[in-house]
Structure 1
C-alpha cells in the first residue's frame, strides 16, 4: 500500500534514522556497488520511474530502486523510503544570533528568526537550489521572536524583491511579539504606570495596526525599516502578534491533527482596560530597561507532534522567566527564591525549597519538553528554576564567533547539564559544530575578492521526528569511512512513558 502511494506521488522520504544511496561504479574491469551519499530521516526523495513502475536493481538478493535526492542519483533499498513527510526543525548556523527553519508534515515552512547577516538567505538558496530550480521556493511564514537585530536583520535579505521569480522568497504571514522598536524617547511605545511597574500600552497586535504604523512612521528605526521592507515587497503579507492573554486558554499558531505550535509567551496583561506588556527592570537598580524588556517578551513556542515536544524560547531572561513561571504557577518565584536564600535554618530552607519544587512541577505541564533551544545564545542571564521546568533531554545553542560575550557561557553549559533529564545530557551548539580551515594557502586566494569564506562545515543542527522517533544530526568535519553525519537517535518508550536516547554502538 505504501509503495503504491509512493509511486503515485512520485516521491517519498527517507526512513529513520538514515538512508544510503548506492550506484554501480566501474573500477578497471570490475563493477562495484559503491556508496554515494547519506540521507537523513525525512529527506525528500524523488523516485525515478519507468512509466508507472519503479526502476529496480537486485543486489545480493535485495531490491533497490532508482532515486534522486540531495543532488545525487542512485539506488536505495526499496524498504528505506516512506510516503509521509515528517517534522523538520533545522537550527541554522547564522553566526551570532538565532535562525530556525521549520517544515511541518503538511509542508508548511516557517522561518523563526533569521540572524543578523545573510547566512539564512544562503541556507535557503542552497536548500531550494534556487540557481537551478525552474520554480520559486515555497511560501513562508516568518516568526520574529523580538526586536533584536541578531534575530530580525537577516529577514531584510529575504524580504528583498528579486528580479528572477525563481530566486524570490515570498511570505504570507509575519508573526511578532507585539513590540515595535521605535526612534525617540519611548522606544517601545507609550506606557502607563501602576504601582512600581510601567506597562507598554502601544502594542501592535493586528495587521491593520502594523500596516498603519509602518505607513506613518517617518524615517523609522532599523526594526521598523525591516518590517516596512516586507510590506513594500509583499503587498498581501499579514502581520499578527503571537501573544497570549490567558494561560488557561491555549493559543496556537498552528493546530492540526499531527502538529501543534502553541504560544506560551509573551503574556499580555489587561491594565486599565488596555492590553499591555510590562517593562522589565535592569540587572541592577530599579530602572526600566528596553533591552531586557524586548528580549524578555520574546515569542515562546512549543511544538508538539505525537509524543515529541520542542521549545523555542527566543532571548528570555531572569525577570521574564520569573514572570512566566509565576503566571503559570500562581507562585511568586522571585520572592520565594529570596526567602530560600535568606533562610536562617535548614528546616526552614527545606520547607521553602519544597514549595519551590512544587511550583516548578506545576508548570512542567506547560514548559517541560524533550528538546529545547537554549535562550539567548547560551548567555548567563537565566534562572535555574526555568531550566528545571524545561527539563529537556537535549538542548541546542545558537551562537557565533566574533562576539564580545563568550557565548555559550561555561556556567550555562553546566547548569543545562545539571537540570536536563536522563543519565547523560545532550548539548548541541551551532558554533561548536562550525569548522574552519586552520591554514589558507596564500597562492589560492583570489586577489580580485575583498574577502574569502573559510568555513569548511557550517554548524547546522538538524532535528527530525515523526512524533515517535527522533534524530538530531550534525555534519562531521570530515567523513568517517562512509559516514558523513553524527546522528543521535531518540525513541518513545511505551513502558516508561517517555522519550529516551537509543544507544546505537556507533558513537565515538
Structure 2
C-alpha cells in the first residue's frame, strides 16, 4: 500500500533521527510534504520521509492534512526561476535562469526541480502541468531548456529520467531571422510588434529550413526541444477589449486561479499585436507575461522583466481596474533594475517583495533605489512597535559561499617522461593555477592564470532559495540558515 501523505501544520518542526532520541537532523517547514513510513505513533512521533531525509521521525502533533500554495523563488544566479506547487499538487515552472553550461556556478532551476521530484517526491519522472517562459531572453528560458533537452550532457546532470510538460506558454515576442536580417524581433511597423509566435504550428513553421521567417539561434533550439516534448502550446496576453483570461485549469472560481494581466494585446487588421517599446531588449523584457495567482484571500504577482515603459502601458490599459495589480507578494521586475515605474510599485503595494538577482556585476542588480522604492511603496503593518511588513528578499543576498585557503597541490602517480612520481606543491607564490571563468550568459569561458596565493577555494555553495507559502490567509516567507539548519521565518496576514 502507498504511504499516507501528511503536511506540516506547524510553522516549523524538528525532524529527529530516531523515535526516542533528541538528535535533530533538520527542520521541516509549514506545508512540507510528509510521507508516513508507518501509521503507528511511537513516543508521540511518526516515522516519516520528509524533504531529502528517509526514515526519520516527527511529532504527530506537528502533522495535519492541509496542503498549501507554495512558491519557490529559486536562486539561479542571473535570471529568474519560480516553481509553483498548488494545494492540489499541480506544478507550474516559470522561467529557469541561464542554462547551466552558461552559469558560473553550473546550476539552473532544472536542478532544484529535479531535486524536488527525485529526492522529496521519490519520483523518477518530472511532471509539470505548465511550463511558462515569461519572455525570450536566455536568462529566463535556459533552465527550462535544461529540463527538456535531449542532449546526453544535459540529461546526465539530472537524477530523474524524463520531464513531461502538459502545457507550454510564452509571451509571443520571438527571435527571428530572415534573408535580410540575422537576428530580429520581426515586423515593428506602426508602433506595434506584428510577428508573434502562437501555437505549436507556428513553432513548427518557424523551424522549417525553407521558411521566409525562421526562428533564430538558441531560442530556436530550445523551442525545437519543446516541440519534441509535445505539450500544448499557447501564447498568453491580456486584451482590454476582450476582458481578462485565466491560465487553463486555473480559471476564476477554481481553488487556485491564475489571471493573465500582460503583455497588453491590441488588434491590427484582425491580427493580435503587442506594443513596440523601442529597442530589442525593451521589447523582450517589457512584453513579459504578467500573472496574478489568487488562493483564498492571498495574491501573488509574477512580473517577468517588465520595464518602466511597459509598466506605464499596463497602468493605462488597466485604467479603472488598477486594483488588479495589488498583491501580497510580488516578484520584483527585472531583477531589481532601476528601469522601473514608481507608480506601478505603488499600485502593487506589496507586503513582501522577492528580488531574483545574480552576481554578475555588469548588471549591478538589485539597484539600491529600487530596493528602497520597494520598501517605500510596500504595504506597511506595524505591531508592538515592530515592522511586520513590508519585507524585501533577495536570492542573491540569501546565498552564501564556504571559502577556504589553498596551501598544497598534490598528485600521486603523476605520469612523466621518466615514469610516475608523487608531486606535492607547497610554494603558493610559485604555483600557478589555470582555470576557466564563465560570466553569466557568456558563450565561451575565459582562460585565466593566477598563483595559488591569490586564489580562494569554494568548497560549497548555499543557494538563496526564498520560500513563500500560504493557506489563503496567513502568508509565510522563509529562508534557510544553513549554518544553523534552521528556518528564518516571517509571517503576515493577507489584506484582500
TM-score normalised by the shorter chain: which range applies?
0.7 to 0.9
Does residue 1:147 correspond to 2:141, yes or no?
A: no
Cα displacement (A) at 1:454 = 4.3
> Which residue does 2:481 correspond to in 1?
476
Q: Cα RMSD over matched residues?
A: 2.8
Distance of 2:206 and 2:227 partners within structure 1: 11
Contact kept in structure 1, 2:175 and 2:215, CA below 8 Å = no
Does residue 1:12 correspond to 2:1, yes or no?
A: no
Does residue 1:108 correspond to 2:90, yes or no?
A: yes
Distance of 1:145 and 1:23 partners within structure 2: 42
Does residue 1:297 correspond to 2:291, yes or no?
A: no
Q: Deviation string for 1:457-490 (max 9, x for gaps)? A: 10010111111222111111410xxx51111112
Matches within 5 A, 1:191-210: 191-193=188-190, 198-210=191-203
Cα displacement (A) at 1:130 = 6.4
Change (3 A) 1:247 1:415: farther
- Given candidates 261, 268, 272, the residue that maps to 1:271 is 268
Distance of 1:272 and 1:107 partners within structure 2: 42
The secondary structure found in structure 1 opposite 2:345 is helix
Distance of 1:459 and 1:86 partners within structure 2: 21
Contact kept in structure 1, 2:176 and 2:215, CA below 8 Å = no
Cα displacement (A) at 1:220 = 2.7
Q: Deviation string for 1:239-298 (max 9, x for gaps)? A: 1101121366221112262101111000110123221112013xxxxxxx1110111100
> Which residue does 1:57 correspond to in 2?
42
Change (3 A) 1:294 1:79: same
TM-score, length-scaled by structure 1? 0.78
Change (3 A) 1:105 1:450: farther
Deviates more, 1:307-316 or 1:465-474: 465-474
Does residue 1:312 correspond to 2:302, yes or no?
A: yes
Does residue 1:387 correspond to 2:345, yes or no?
A: yes
Matches within 5 A, 1:172-251: 172-184=166-178, 185=181, 187-193=184-190, 198-216=191-209, 220-232=216-228, 234=229, 236-246=230-240, 249-251=243-245
Distance of 1:444 and 1:374 partners within structure 2: 44
Cα displacement (A) at 1:189 = 1.6
Change (3 A) 1:8 1:391: same
Distance of 1:43 and 1:276 partners within structure 2: 43
Cα displacement (A) at 1:450 = 6.2
Cα displacement (A) at 1:403 = 3.3
Cα displacement (A) at 1:455 = 4.2
Distance of 2:380 and 2:50 partners within structure 1: 35
Deviates more, 1:255-264 or 1:390-399: 255-264
The secondary structure found in structure 2 opposite 1:175 is strand
Does residue 1:44 correspond to 2:38, yes or no?
A: no
Cα displacement (A) at 1:422 = 1.0
Contact kept in structure 1, 2:258 and 2:291, CA below 8 Å = yes
Contact kept in structure 2, 1:269 and 1:276, CA below 8 Å = yes
Cα displacement (A) at 1:190 = 2.0
Does residue 1:156 correspond to 2:158, yes or no?
A: no
Deviates more, 1:444-453 or 1:66-75: 444-453
Change (3 A) 1:257 1:404: same
Change (3 A) 1:93 1:134: closer
> Which residue does 2:431 correspond to in 1?
none
Does residue 1:467 correspond to 2:472, yes or no?
A: yes
Contact kept in structure 2, 1:17 and 1:489, CA below 8 Å = no
Does residue 1:433 correspond to 2:422, yes or no?
A: no
- Given candidates 161, 165, 172, the residue that maps to 1:171 is 165
Cα displacement (A) at 1:143 = 0.5
Matches within 5 A, 1:392-411: 392-411=350-369
The secondary structure found in structure 1 opposite 2:373 is helix
The secondary structure found in structure 1 opposite 2:189 is strand
Distance of 1:460 and 1:391 partners within structure 2: 23
Aligned pairs, number: 427
Contact kept in structure 2, 1:269 and 1:277, CA below 8 Å = yes
Cα displacement (A) at 1:219 = 7.5
Contact kept in structure 2, 1:363 and 1:389, CA below 8 Å = no
Contact kept in structure 2, 1:461 and 1:473, CA below 8 Å = yes
Does residue 1:488 correspond to 2:490, yes or no?
A: yes
Change (3 A) 1:453 1:110: farther
Q: Deviation string for 1:42-88 (max 9, x for gaps)? A: 11111122xxxx22123xxxx32221212333322222212232111
Cα displacement (A) at 1:93 = 0.4
Contact kept in structure 2, 1:471 and 1:488, CA below 8 Å = yes
Contact kept in structure 2, 1:136 and 1:165, CA below 8 Å = no
